[in-house]
Structure 1
Amino acid sequence: MTDTGHGDRRPAGMLEDEVLAVLWSKTAPVSPAEVQAELGGSLAYTTIMTTLARLERKGLASRRRSGRGFVYAPAVDEASHTAEAMNELLARRSDRAAVLAQFVSRLSADDEQILQKLLREMDD
């Protein structure tokens, strides 16, 4: 996927999610060039740098100097980030019960068991 031309554009936030996925997959901080390579190399280096800078401003990534450039690491873990996004979306809906009911009704049997176990543990 490229970042040129209107037909190839990612939905808003998708590139940030892809870059975060790269950061989460690594055990050490990575350079913008490493992120670019992980994403297939089709995106401009400046696009990757801009996305990493945006993630840092949002508090989702941290950076530190490494030689003449910077390396980046996730500032939040994947589960926390996803849970926060789900909570933000839920907070914007008027019928939270209906949204939660639809969400639970669409869970796989395995995920439903995990959710039930977690809810029981919270009650203890």
Structure 2
Amino acid sequence: MTRLGDLERAVMDVLWALPATSDGVTVREVADALDGRELAYTTVMTVLDRLAGKGMVQREREGRAWRYRPAATREAHIAQLMLDALDLGGSRDAALVRFARSVTGTEADVLRAALGAEAGLTDRAGSTDQTGVTHRAGVTDRVEDPRPAGPALDEATDR
């Protein structure tokens, strides 16, 4: 998935702000929503055309104009960017562990709930042992680093 430039992201922000039931917006409506940027109509039209070519927006003919709407939600786009980043090389496991260690407690709770739902776990009650690890249906909330401990490996992974 292609990363977006500043102007493309601003245009997508306008589209992502549309209600889910919207039938889309015209180039003029997007240009008006970007009023602080002083952009020419043709500039906005070119950006929308390029976003359509990248598969980021869908468009539908309305008379002589096009109506544009996002092809996917902002959340779907961000999730795809994260998956693409994992494909950049190196160890996916190590990258996931580093990510898991960097999230806040609330974010970790959201991830646990999503992973639990994905795994089909319905038992939300759990028990916490002396180490602070919560056990639910045979799953623990602790993320173990799959790499052996040692400065040489950690140093190589940090590069």
* Separation in 1, partners of 2:78, 2:43: 23
| Structure 2 counterpart of 1:62, one-letter code | Q
* Separation in 2, partners of 1:77, 1:12: 14
**Residue 84 in 1 paired to residue 80 in 2?**
yes
Question: By how many angstroms is 1:12 displaced?
Answer: 5.8
SS of equivalent to 1:93: coil
Question: By how many angstroms is 1:41 displaced?
Answer: 4.1
**Residue 112 in 1 paired to residue 108 in 2?**
yes
SS of equivalent to 2:9: helix
- Determine which structure has more spread, i.e. the larger CA radius of gyration: 2
Work out the percentage of aligned pairs sharing the same amino acid. 36
Task: Work out the number of aligned pairs and report it.
Answer: 114
Question: By how many angstroms is 1:98 displaced?
Answer: 2.7
**Of the two structures, which has the highest relative contact order with CA contacts closer than 8 Å and spacing of 6 or more?**
1
* Separation in 2, partners of 1:37, 1:46: 13
* Separation in 1, partners of 2:37, 2:61: 23
Q: Considering only aligned residues, what root-mean-square deviation do their CA atoms show, in Å?
A: 1.9
Would the alpha carbon gap of residues 97 and 22 (structure 1) be closer, same or farther in structure 2, given more than 3 Å must change?
same
Would the alpha carbon gap of residues 21 and 57 (structure 1) be closer, same or farther in structure 2, given more than 3 Å must change?
same
Using structure 2 for the length normalisation, give the TM-score.
0.64
**Residue 59 in 1 paired to residue 55 in 2?**
yes
* Separation in 2, partners of 1:12, 1:116: 29
User: What runs of 5+ residues in structure 1 fail to find an aligned partner?
Assistant: 1-10
Partner of 1:6: none
Which has a greater percent of helix? Answer: 1
